[in-house]
Copies of this chain bind each other. A is one copy, B any other.
Amino acid sequence: MKENPSAPPVRPRPVTLATVARHAQVHVSTVSRALSADPAGIGADTVLRVRELAAVLGYRRDEGAAGLRTGSSRLIGVLVPRLTDLVLASIYESIDAAASAAGYGTVVANTLDDREHRRVRLDAMLSRRIDGVIIGDSHIGDTVAHELRRSGIPYVLVMRKLEGHLSVTTDDYRGGQLAAEHLLELGHRRVGVIAGDQLASTGRERTLGFRRAFESAGYPLPDPYVVESAFSTPSGLVAAGELMRLPQPPTAIFAVHDLLALGAMGAIRDAGKRVGDDVALIGYNDLDLAATLPVPLTSVRSDLQRMGTLSVEALLTGIKGEPAASVLLPPELIVRATTPPLRA
């Protein structure tokens, strides 16, 4: 017995199948079978005895070891731009919940919309022999999806789509339209768009739907009225600032993300105008906080939970080897105080 008081408490040797087998006086293979979901070919009393013993001893299956043998890690990887984007956090939450319910674990990675990060993190995931990937950060021109297809690893795109790849998204083009139609109806003619990242299908399609709707109503948007941005609050502040400094500032702004709208609120205030009465504002995604802002935000809602859940479903059927179909969810406009009737 060696005394080593400064060392941390000794980590007790984990309880394995062998431990249980020894106590139960049976072979480990019998224990394995008895503990499996369908203990075929094992006596009912043995099953009971083994299970009880396993519980008492605190047996825990080693997923790593099991995965080595079975070839499946029961782990799925999730790629997101960043989790501090509330939208992605929401989606990830429901992905994790759905996966967990199906007996899968998840690992997320922030890719920061950066090529190199994406590569490194995906590599780490593949090293863990993940069973599939949910891609929440797809970019036009990005190759992750192609690589996965080539390696034969099941994957699904969520939130952002990409031509020719399985995806679960909401109809962003339609969402842009909805926003435009609402503003047109209110009488707005000179409007601005905070367009987000144009390499993300969300930013592109929402902007496109919005633009087209104004075009076909006879009020096309000049280029300076559409400004690209990231998907963050500070970025919204900057972009809206540009819009407000135009010689003829817009009477309404469509921000393709609620956080952008939040930033826009700051810029509108900085310009000495009031949100709503002076400058109308529409956000996107209808986050919780949209409703409780000092001036409640009109926003296009997309069902984030549903997207997360469906993407897991699609991935799992893919993992089973069955074919899955892309899903396009309908958006919905939620009207609140930032888009009041226009005064004559």
Q: Which A positions have Cβ atoms within 8 angstroms of B?
A: 1-12, 14, 60-65, 67-68, 73, 82-84, 86, 89-90, 92-93, 96-97, 100, 105-110, 121, 123-124, 126-129, 145, 148-149, 151-156, 164-166, 232-234, 236-237, 259, 262-263, 265-266, 268-269, 275, 288-289, 291-296, 314-315, 317-319, 321-326
Contact = CB atoms under 8 A, between A and B. Distances in A.
Nearest to A290: B233
Contacts of A319: 7
Contact of A65 (B10, B68, B265): B68
Given A63-B128, A64-B129, A323 B6 contact: yes
Contacts of A153: 11
10 nearest A-B residue pairs (beta carbon): A6-B318, A266-B292, A11-B152, A64-B64, A5-B149, A4-B323, A6-B154, A265-B294, A83-B89, A233-B289
15 contacts: A4-B318, A4-B323, A4-B324, A5-B164, A7-B319, A9-B149, A11-B153, A63-B127, A83-B93, A96-B108, A234-B288, A262-B289, A262-B292, A263-B292, A265-B292
A149 to B, nearest CB: 4
A316 to B, nearest CB: 10
B269 A294 contact: yes
A12 B109 CA distance: 25
Contacts of A294: 265-266, 268-269, 275, 293-295
Contacts of A296: 266
B110 A107 contact: no
A183 B328 CA distance: 51
Copies in the complex: 2
Contacts of A109: 96, 100
B152 A9 contact: yes
A233 B86 CA distance: 13
Contacts of A12: 151-152
Contact of A84 (B90, B107, B151): B90
Contacts of A291: 266
A176 B173 CA distance: 47
Nearest to A156: B6
A292 B123 CA distance: 37
Nearest to A97: B110
Contacts of A89: 83-84, 86, 89
Given A84-B89, A100-B124, A265-B292, A7 B165 contact: no
Given A5-B145, A5-B165, A269-B295, 20 more contacts: A3-B325, A6-B155, A7-B154, A7-B321, A7-B322, A8-B152, A8-B321, A9-B149, A9-B152, A11-B152, A12-B151, A60-B126, A63-B128, A64-B128, A68-B68, A100-B121, A107-B107, A237-B292, A265-B292, A266-B293
